[in-house]
Structure formats: C-alpha cells, structure tokens
Structure 1
Amino acid sequence: MYQAIVFLPLLGFLIVGLFGTSLGAKASEYITSGLLVVSAVLSWVAFFTVAMGDVETFTVPVLRFIDSGTMQADWALRIDTLTVVMLVVVNTVSALVHIYSIGYMHHDPHRPRFFAYLSLFTFAMLMLVTSDNLVQMFFGWEGVGLASYLLIGFWYKKPSANAAAIKAFVVNRVGDFGFILGILGVYVLFGSVDFGTIFANAATYLPAGGHGAEAAAGEAAAHGETVLNFLGYHLDKAGALTAVCLLLFMGAMGKSAQVPLHTWLPDAMEGPTPVSALIHAATMVTAGVFMLARLSPIFELSHTALLVVTIIGAITAFFAATVGLVQNDIKRVIAYSTCSQLGYMFVALGMGFYSAAIFHLFTHAFFKALLFLGSGSVIHAVSDEQDMRRMGGLRRLIPKTYWMMVIGTIALTGVGIPATVIGTAGFFSKDAIIEGAFVGHNAFAGAAFVLLVVAAAFTSFYSWRLIFMTFHGTPRATADVMHHVHESPPVMLVPLYLLAVGALFAGFVFHDYFIGEHYEAFWKTALFTLPDNHILHDFHDVPMLVKLAPFLAMLGGFLVAYHFYIRSPETPRQVAQRHRLLYQFLLNKWYFDELYDFLFVRPAKRLGYFLWKRGDGWLIDGFGPDGVSARVMDLTNRVVKLQTGYLYHYAFAMLIGVAALVTWMMLGSSF
C-alpha cells in the first residue's frame, strides 16, 4: 500500500509526460487525477491504520541507494504518525488541485504538460515526507524545487513568470547550501545519515539541565573535546550540534519562506492558481516545518538553535502580516498570509511545541488551499483580473464562491469561542501556538507572544479586507467584465466544498489527538521532547485573558476592516495619504527586494558583465582561440599576397631563394 501511495503519482507523471501528446488533454487529466485520488484514499487508510491505531514506526525497503565506505543510505519509506499526517495533507490537497485544474486550465493548450508537472511535484514531496535518511530527504527536497521551478514558470512566454521561477530556484539554492552543510555535519557527528541511527545516538548530546545519570554523562561528553571544525572554530559536541541545527534550519528557511529568504514566495503567484494552492497550502512551503519536526530529537537538544527558530518565526509572522495589510493582488494577499502562518509554525517548533506546529500545518492545508482555489474561482469569473481594486459587488453573482471564501477566512482568522470546543480549524491550532508562546521557556517567548497576537489582528484585517473589497460594495470592474461574471463549473466547486469541510471541522475533530489527551497514543515515538519540556501541559493552564487575546485580536481586525471598507470606504485612502511613508514602506514589502537588488543582483550582474567582456572576450578569447586564429589569418593574408599569378614574380622569388642559399653556403660554413 505504501509503495502505491508514493509511486502512483510518479506513474502518472511518466505516462502523461511521455505519451501526453498522443493521449490527448482529457485522457491526461483523467489519468493523473485518478491516480492521485487513489493515492489520497490510500493515505487516509494509512492515517487511520498508523496514527489512530497501534502501529509503531516501521520502514518499507525500496532499493539500495548509496553504499560507499561507511556511508550508507538506502531508499526506504519511514512510516510513522508524522509521515501519515503528511501523506494525508499532501495527497488530499494535490488530488483536489488536480480535479480543480480540469476546469481552471480548460482553455490552456498545454494541459498534458501541466498535469505531468503536478504529478511530478507530488511525487517529489512524497519522497521527502517518507524519507528514512537525510540523503533521501534531500533528493525529495531538490525534486520539489525543480518541480516548483517548472510549475511557476509554466507560462514561459511571460517574462514575469520566467523571472519568478528563476528567483524561486536561486533563493532556495541559498537555503539548500546550508541544508547540504547540515547533512554533512550530521554525518560527521553521528557517522550516519539514517534517522534511526541519528536518533538512537542523540542522547550523548543531552544539554545541561537534563535528567538523571544519562544527562550527566551526556553533558560531560558534550563539552571540551573538539568534534567539528567549522569556519575556523573548534566546536565541542554542544557547539557542533548547535551549528548543525542552524545549518539545517537555513535550509528550512529557504523552502518555508522565512525572513530573509522569503522573497521568492509572493512572486511565485505568477504561476497558475492551482500551482499557488499546491505550493503554498500543503506541500513545498511546509517542507521546512516537517524537516524540523522530523529532526526534533536533535533540535530539542540545542536551546540556542530553538531560540533562533523562535526569533525568525515570530519576525516572519509579524513582517508578512504587515505587508499583507496593503497588497491589492488577491493572490499576493493570500501568499503573504501563508508566509505569516508559516512563521506561527516555526514559533511553535522553537518552543518545542512540535505537535502544535504540525497541527497548524494540518489545518492550514485545508483553509489555505480553499482560499487559493477560491481566489482562482474569482479570477476565473472576472476574466483573469487579480487586482481587488477592480472587483467589488461579486457576492450576488458568484454566491457559492463567496461562501467558500468566507469559510476559508473564518478558518484562517481563527473564529471560535475561547475555552470551548466551538471553533473553526484555525481557531484550535493557531490559538494553541499563541498560548504555547505565552508559557514558553526560551528567552524570546514573551516577545513572540506579543508579535503573534499583533499578527493575528493584522491577519483578521487583511483577510476581511479581501472579502469586503472583492465581494461587497459597488462593482468597480468594467461593464464588459461584469457582464461576463459567472459561477465556476462543478469540477471547480466540488474541491472547494470538500476543503471547506476540513476548514470547518478538522480542528474540532483532531485537536485531542494532536495536542490533547490522546497525544501519546497518537504520536507514539514520531516526535521527541525532553522530560523538562512541559509545554504540552502548561498551555492548557494559561490565564483566561491569554485565551481571549487571539479572539480579541481577530475581532478587532474584523471591526476595523468593516469600518474601512463597508461603512467608510474613503477612510483607507485618507489613512494612506496621511501616513504615506509607512504605506509605501509596507507596499514595497519593507524594501527587501530593492535591498537584495542593490547588495547582490546588481553587483553580480556587473561582475558577470566584466567577466564576459574583459575576462572571456578580451583575455581568454583574445589571447586564446580568437587570438591564435587572428594571427594565423594575418600570416596567411600576407602569404597570399605572394600568389600574384605572374611568372616573373615567381622567377624573382626563386632568384632570391637561390641567392639566400648561396649566401648561407658561403658564410654559414665558416661558423
């Protein structure tokens, strides 16, 4: 069953990728979508068998992969609760995106290629989440990067799509460089890249503050002896483990769009909307969250690394929420929302609250895919317009899409009643992270709590701003566009209905398993926490004011958005004019792109131009192939001038030759 879950998408990619032109668009759609539906159904079967049953961690061998000296990395599928949760998320969202794309991409002439890319992307992500070692994980990691490049740049005739694809690929390579170094560091420390071996030996790195004789032995071993030389530093076990964790986190920052490696994510909106849903909801951007959760047995041992994770996550959550306040492209608003929610997940990871991070990943997949596919339905209805300033008044024309977007919004903003079990999916997972930050024990916990609450208020504002600008008020589109507004076909609406069910009820149904009383039976050994990590217990006992904070933030953001865009539509323009510098600062995304352009892009282009013109053109070609060929041509041009065709010229040359020969014989013999 597990081999089928992983390899059915690959089979779909191979069939359609090789024979899609012969099969035709319809057959390509049905083959890839059908195989993904089967894989999704089997994933749910695996979820209830492993996570909800009594099945412990096990591996499914596939083939021998790398065997060189002491380095061994076989291709095997690691099956535990964390794996099956990710299988459900990836395959469910991917299957629904495939079905939705049948309607959304109906007029595109290159549908076989598109569906082949979608299946390749899904297979790469499945390889990542089922990996049994770091090398296999990196294989899936890079496969996801390649597939995302192909999908973001699918409309390759658009210069903006090509630029966005290249940007995503290059920025992710920066993070992946750290990931590679982290993998090598793990191999140096543990002598293996296999998860089972790494986790079994992690106890020797127990930090100060552990428990019992094992902790004392681990602490003694963790200091003094140099085990890793890195950038001129001689690191003992404790320092080496922290360095390795930070390098691995660098890879997660790139893939999961954390500040400062976040700039590729909004530009990825240049791809088709189903691609945006697939990348931003459940797959590529959550790879970093999954990686840190999978490696919890070593991250849990480095307080410094967890502190850095918390800081970066909190800053990202706040930063992306501020930028989302002023964006006008409907997809970019949701993209910055994704970036912000990923920040929440990393704060949870930094607090050692791994189960809450995965819980939010799980619920986020449903409501964020719903919002992206819902935005695609809006774009489909208004003749491919994406600027919310040119929409408005769509509520009565596309009511089904409207209500699906409202459900996604209330799930994202976390609508619910504090201290009860009444709420949408985001209410349970996001509030748990905020409450966990309040009781967290690392040095940045208090600041993270404040930033997350503020980000929650901003999230509510820009989410309802999207709803009000798009669906309420007077129509701002042209009469021709409004005349053609129509509801999406059933093949696009049915995936929205299914995602809406998850957005409404996934939190209520599963919160006791992920972060509640069934935690131990559900997670088993998939996640690791030290005995002194009591956050799972402590977050239940926070003061009522803390439980109310996310609710009040959500309510405040809603009321401000309602006032700005329903009661007083002129107010936003007045506020923007009154605070023009701040507005421009947020509209230009804190000028990260401009800063990177100044620091990296322009110098790289100038260096490339210099090496092209002076290095390659003048030096290498000038004194190499071009130079040699030019001298040969000069010489032959001079020799050719002797070939005049006149007999007396040749006779004169012969006489000169004879004279030179006689002279040499007369004078040369005397030496």
Structure 2
Amino acid sequence: MAEILLPLLVLCPLAASLLVFLSAGRMGARAIGTVACAGVGISAVASIILSVMLLSGPVAGGLQVTLWPWMRVAGLSADIAFTLDRISMVMVLVVTIVGLLIHVYAAGYMRDDPGIARFFGCMTLFVAAMLVLVLASDLLCLFIGWEGVGLCSYLLIGFWYDDPANTAAARKAFYMTRMGDVALLCGLLLLACATGSLRIGTVLASVADGRLPASGVNVAAAFILVGALAKSAQIPFQAWLPDAMAGPTPTSALIHAATMVAAGVYLIARVHDLFAMAAPVMALTAVLGALTLLMGACTALVQSDLKRILAWSTISQLGYMFLVLGCGVWQAALFHLMTHAFFKALLFLTAGAVIMRAGHEQDIFRLGGLRRAMPGLTAAFVAGASALAGLPLVTAGFYSKEMILSGVWHVHFGLAREWTLSGHPLWGIALLGAFLTALYIFRCVFIVFCGKAGTRAAGRTSRLMGIPLVCLSVLSLFGGVIEMPDTLPSLHLFSALLNPGTPLSHADEPVWLVLAGALAPLAGLGVAWVLWGRPSPVMREIPGQAGVIRPARTGRGMDVLYDRVFVQPFRLLAWLTRLDIPGHAITGTGRLTRAANAGILGARAGLLEMLAIRATGTARWAGHLPGLFQNGRVRWYAAWIAGGLCAGLAMAVLS
C-alpha cells in the first residue's frame, strides 16, 4: 500500500495544480478552491495513513519507494525515490495538514481576486514541490524540490505584479535564495565526488565510516549551511523575507511561516550526522542562530507594519531553530518547527482577516480598539501571540522553547582537543530573545486590539476563513503537550517518536532553569502592558526614530550594506564592460604600435639613403684621387718615387 500512497502524496497536489492552471478562465472561484483543497486534502489523509503504517511497523524501519532510476554514470548513481521515516513524517504532516488549513482559508480570502486560478495553481504546486523536498531519499531529488519551492515562492511573492514593489520583492527573494542554492549544489557535488552517491543513507554511512577526511566534511557542511541560511532567511541572508510580505497573506502563512523557510532547518536535521562530524560548522550555526534571533526580535520591536512584525518574528524564531541545531539537539529544532508552523500560520491568517476588514490598513498605529468589532479574531490573535511568546503551561510555544533552552544550556562545543565552548552565553541570548518576543508581540496586541479606536472595521469574517483559525488556535495552545520538561510531569513523546528508545531527557535539569524560561515571557508581557496596554500607555511609538532605529524600522540597513558591498562593485564592472575600456586600450595600443613601426621604417629608410649617398660620394672621391697622381708631369713622378724610397729606407732602419 505504501507503494501507492507515497507517490500519491505528491501526485495529488501536482495534479490539482495542473488542472487549475489548464482550466484557468473556465472554472469559477469556488470550483478552483474546491479542486485545490481536495488535492491537498487527499495528501493530508494519505500522510496520516502512512504515519500510522510507519509507527505500527518496525522501530528502525521506514517506507521507501523507488519510482525510477534517474542516472547511472561512472562513479555516481541517482534515483527518483521517496522515503518516509520518522523525521520526514513530522514534516509531511506539517506540510499537508497546515497546508490544507491555509488552502481552506485562502478559498475564502481570494474568492474575489481575478487571478485566483493562477494563485491556487502556484500554491498547490508549491505543496507538491515541498513534499518532494521532504520525501526525497536522494539529495539530488531533494535539490529538485528545493528549487521548486524557490520558483513557487517567486511566483507567489510577485503575484500582484502590477505593483513594481511586488516584482522587486520577488526578484530580491529569488536572487538571494539562489546564492544559497549555488552553495548547496557545491556541497552536494562535493559529497557526490567523495562518496560516489547522493543517496542520503549512503552519504551519512560514508561520513560515519570515516571515508571523508575531516576537511572535506567541514567544507561540505559549510556549503550546505550556506544554502540553509539563505532559504531560512538567517544572517546574512535575512533581508528578503520581510519584503516577501508583498504577496497575499495565505502565501505568507504557507511559504514564509510554516514550510519553505523551514526547509533549511529540515535539511540540517536530515543530515545531522554529517554536521555532528563538523564541530566548527556546528559552532558557527549556533552563533549565527543566536545573532539572528536577537536581531530579528529587536527589529520586530520597532516595526509599524503588522505583517512585517510577523515576518521579523519568523526570522527570529528560525534563529532559535538554528541555534539548537548548532547545539546538536535537532529534535528540539523539529519540535519548535512544528509548533511554530501552528502559531505563526495562525498569526498570519488572523492578521490577513484583520487587514481585510480594516480596509487593507496594515499600520498598527492606525488600528486600535478592534477587540470590540472583532472579538473572534482578537481571541485567535491572542492565542497565537501567547504561543509565540511561549507563555508557560498554556501554550505550545512554551514547551518547544523550553526544550530549546534546555538543550542549549547543556551543550559544550569541542572546537579543539583542549578547548571547549560552553553554551551558557548562547542560553542567555536565547532567554533575552524570549523576553523580547513577548514584548514585541504583545506590543502589537495591545496597540491593535486595545486602547483608542482607530480604523473602522467593516464586514464579517467568513466561516470558510474562520474554521482554519479555530483549528490552528487549538493546535497553538495544546499542540506542545507531547513533550514536557522533566521538572513537570515528564512526557517525551515527540523525542521518543524521533529516537525510539532514547528520548531526549535531562533528569538533572535544575528547577530554576525551567522557571527562568517561564518568567522571561511573563516579564515581557508585563513590560508590554505597562508601556502600551494600560488605558494611559507610557508610550505609543519607540522614541528616537532617527539614528540606528530608522534603518531597523525600515529594514533597509542590510540592503544598503549589500548595495555597497555587492551591487555597486558589480555596477562598476558592468559600466566598465559597457564602455569597453579593455577594447579601447587594446585598440590604442595597436595604433601606437603601428605609429612606432611606421616611424622605425621611415628612420631606417632615411639612414639607408644617407649611407648610400655618402658611400657614393666617397667612391667618387676615391676614384678621383688616383687621377691627381696621374697628371703627366715626370718631375712629380720622380719626386714621389724618391719620397717613397726614403720612407721605406727609414722604416727599415728604424725597425
């Protein structure tokens, strides 16, 4: 049965995408939404059935189907094959179930858009590409899905292409993620040359057996890390994600919150054995994750656009995942990936409904008092905000962040034989990030839904859009109870699911560690209430919008850096190429050479002519000289003979 259901996971959304594309203009909005939701829905049902089959089978087993051999060349083989194991199962369930809820929401959100067929065609094609990425048992097949989600992301970000800003954002995302894709391809080619295969199991076995030298492992891991950083919008590739909010809100929820940006996290978790052998790359991953989560939280704190706040929040939360991946606790990264998909999709979809009913107003300072006009949306947004902040015990985000904080606290990086780096400083950054997360998200809650009324709300949220919000609210609040720290009622279902028999547990974990993780978001909530939540708030905007705050708020600081470091030098090179300065230099050199050659030829001709004239004159004079002696005078002849005889006798006597 697995031989049928595994390909069906990909074929259903792919067939729905083709059907919607080919029938554009012939189907109504409701029919298009129904076809798209049916395609993703069948994949969701199939994923649940396959998960039950996998969990009921052998512990170390997996479901695998080889569709066809792709290439067979000397020293390398590649197949189009799918594998469902416990790691890919988590991602498949997230992609299909969350994707289905977002598609149902989008059917109501996009029903009046004239490009609805193009939208759902790209959305279902994205789901198919994401499933290829997740299920691929060969790294080359994974790269196909990797490129597929990048293409669909470009099409969906620039969906409303009439606005030049949207097309610019799409190009920006495409170019920046392509830089990472090139690095990823370099890493895959390096592994292919070293192991003779790109099958994930074969590559990891070769690494474990020591067939790759340490330098090769480090270089390959570094290349893969660059690809993951670009796809997941981590430092220094984070600038594309906030601009990607130009696309429709369901696009933001599906691609830039729940699935595509998590592809980098999944890739590193998928080849975690390779990264475990590259200690310097692991340390770099953790440091970049810590810096990104702190930078994203600080930037979100000064944003005024509702969707950009959530975008920077996504960057920050992905930083948590990279931090714990660098610490080697990849189970915690996947757990937070799952809970993040729940509450961030909920926040984006709720924000989309709020923006739609507020006349497409996204500035939080022009909104306000919406809890009276939108009590249901307020409850959904507060549920998502609470999960994002990680409020203790009552939200899924608390348990996943607690798992991250615990993993970071206990890690030690062995960078050299006698040099180890403790994870305690990184734990402090993560705890500060938890405080800032609660601060900026509840700043948004208090300004938008409480206080003085701003933009007037109109209309009602349709039931088709409301059902996914209810489901995601339940998952955001209760989806994390499958993994609890040991200081609470010990429950490790998620880590036991990924590593049967060896669940991730820290029995010696101090109680104050859990208390610190619980108090940090509560402190952030309290400060946010004091500053923005009271009837007479202390502040409305962050003071001092000049200086360092302004680049952070506009998000253009990194763009300026990229412009100075990459764009301007490239433009200078293009300008030099357009002017063809090397061509002009070569032409000028040729002209100078021809002129010098002509001068040398002229000088040689003049010298030869002068020498010829002088030689002729000398010969004429030499010919005239004997004539002077032959003048016919006998006395002169006798005198010359006598003089010559005297000269000869003198020379004879002297010698």
Smaller-chain TM-score bracket: 0.7 to 0.9
Q: Which of 416, 419, 435 does residue 406 from structure 2 map onto?
A: 435
Alignment match, 2:281: 305
CA displacement at 1:590 relative to structure 2: 7.8
> Aligned in 2, Cα 1:460/1:612: closer, same or farther, shift over 3 Å?
same
Asked whether the equivalents of residues 100 and 495 of structure 1 are also in contact (C-alpha less than 8 Å), the reply is yes
Deviations 1:292-349 (A, max 9, x none): 0110121111211111111111111111011010101101111111111111111111
1:80 Cα offset (Å): 0.3
Residues 339 and 396 of structure 2 are in contact (CA less than 8 Å); yes or no, is this contact kept in structure 1? yes
Question: 1:587 corresponds to which letter in structure 2?
Answer: R
- Structure 1 equivalent of residue 590 of structure 2: none
Change (3 A) 1:149 1:608: same
The match for 2:380 is 404
Aligned partner of residue 569 in structure 2, secondary structure: helix
Residue-by-residue CA offset, 1:130-176 (whole Å, 9 max, x unaligned)? 01111011100000000000000000111111000000000001111
- The question of 1:193 aligning with 2:198 is answered yes
Match of 1:73 in 2: 78
Instruction: Give the conservation status (yes or no) of the 8 Å contact 2:180–2:231.
Output: yes
Q: Who is 2:225 aligned against?
A: 249
Q: Distance in 1 between matches of 2:302 and 2:76?
A: 51
Counterpart amino acid of residue 472 in structure 1: C
Between 48-57 and 394-403, the greater mean CA deviation after superposition: 48-57
Tell me, in whole angstroms, the C-alpha distance in 1 between the residues paired with 2:120 and 2:564: 38
- The answer to whether the 8 A contact 1:103-1:491 is kept is yes
Query: CA offset at residue 52 of structure 1?
Result: 6.4
In the alignment, what sits opposite 2:291?
315
Asked if the contact 2:96/2:127 (under 8 Å) is kept, the reply is yes
Please, which runs of 5 or more residues in structure 1 have no aligned partner?
Answer: 206-220, 222-226, 228-236, 417-421, 528-533, 621-671
Alpha-carbon spacing, 1:615–1:475, altered in 2? closer, same or farther (3 Å): farther
**1:500 corresponds to 2:468:** no
C-alpha distance in 2 between matches for 1:558 and 1:124: 39
The TM-score normalised by the length of structure 2 is 0.83
Of residues 72-81 and 598-607 in structure 1, the stretch that sits farther from structure 2 once superposed is 598-607
The correspondence for 1:447, drawn from 425, 429, 437, is 425
Query: AA paired with 2:443?
Result: R
Give the Cα separation in 2 of the matches to 1:131 and 1:570.
Answer: 52
Q: Pick from 3, 19, 28: which aligns with 2:7?
A: 3
Query: Is 2:504 the partner of 1:536?
Result: yes
Cα deviation for residue 282 of structure 1 reads 1.8
Query: What secondary structure does 2:112 align onto?
Result: coil
Cα displacement string for residues 166-204 of structure 1 (whole angstroms, at most 9, x for unaligned residues) = 000000011111101110111122221111211222222
TM-score normalised to the size of structure 1?
A: 0.81
Equivalent residue of 1:262, what SS? Answer: coil
Whether contact under 8 Å (1:397, 1:486) holds in the other structure is no
The aligned counterpart of 1:523 is 498
| 2:495/2:504 contact within 8 Å kept | no
Letter paired with 1:536: L
Amino acid at match of 2:334: I
Change (3 A) 1:74 1:41: same
Aligned to 1:208: none
Deviation of 1:266 (Å): 0.5
Shift of 1:617: 12
Q: Distance in 1 between matches of 2:261 and 2:387?
A: 19
Decide which of 272, 282, 292 is 2:258's aligned counterpart.
282
1:592 matched to 2:568? The reply is no
Match of 2:481, SS state, is helix
Is residue 144 of structure 2 the alignment partner of residue 139 of structure 1? yes
> Would you say 1:114 and 2:92 are equivalent positions?
no
Q: Is residue 607 of structure 1 aligned with residue 607 of structure 2? A: no
Is 2:402–2:517's contact at 8 Å kept on the other side of the alignment?
Answer: yes
Q: What is the Cα deviation at residue 365 of structure 1?
A: 0.6
Aligned-pair identity (%):
38
Please state if 1:566 is matched with 2:566. no
Q: Which residue of 1 aligns with 2:103?
A: 98
* Count of matched residue positions in the alignment of Structure 1 and Structure 2: 571
Once the two structures are TM-superposed, the CA of residue 518 in structure 1 deviates from its matched residue by 4.5
**Map 1:108-187 → 2, pairs under 5 A:** 108-187=113-192
Q: Distance in 2 between matches of 1:306 and 1:561?
A: 35
In structure 2, what is the equivalent of residue 347 of structure 1? 323
Structure 1 partner of 2:49: 45
CA drift of 1:571 comes to: 3.2
Given the superposition, is the C-alpha separation of residues 516 and 247 from structure 1 closer, same or farther in structure 2, using an over 3 Å criterion? farther
* Deviates further, 278-287 or 455-464: 278-287
> Which string of whole-angstrom CA distances, capped at 9 and with x for unpartnered residues, describes residues 90-144 of structure 1?
1112111111111111221010010000011111100000011110111000000
* Residue 336 in structure 1 maps to residue 336 in structure 2: no
The 2-side partners of 1:340 and 1:361 are apart by 12
- Specify the alignment match of 2:334 in structure 1: 358
1:315–1:343 Cα contact (<8 Å) kept: yes
| Greater displacement, 192-201 / 459-468 | 192-201
Distance 1:95 1:518 in 2: 25
1:25 and 2:29 matched:
yes
* Partner residue, 2:236: 260
Do the aligned partners of 2:410 and 2:423 also contact (CA within 8 Å) in 1?
yes
Task: Label 1:574 to 1:619 Cα distance change in 2 as closer, same or farther (>3 A).
Answer: same
Work out the CA distance in 2 between the residues paired with 1:438 and 1:609. 52
Which of 429, 435, 441 aligns to 1:463? It is 441
Distance 1:392 1:300, change over 3 A: same
**Amino acid paired to 1:145:** G
The verdict on how the C-alpha distance between 1:446 and 1:294 changes in structure 2, with shifts beyond 3 A counting, is same
* Residues 28-86 of structure 1 deviation map (CA, whole Å, 9 limit, x = unaligned): 21111111112112212222332465461231111221222222110010110111111
In the TM superposition, what is the alpha-carbon distance from 1:430 to its structure 2 partner? 0.8
Q: Residue 625 of structure 2 corresponds to which residue in structure 1? A: none
For the residue of structure 2 that corresponds to 1:22, the secondary structure is coil
User: What's the RMSD between the two structures over aligned residues?
Assistant: 2.4
The superposition leaves residues 357-380 of structure 1 with CA deviations (integer Å, 9 ceiling, x where unpaired) of 101111111111000001001011
The 3 A distance-change label for structure 1 pair 14 and 613 is: farther
Report if the CA contact (8 A) 2:399-2:483 is conserved: no
Cα offset for 1:520? Answer: 7.1
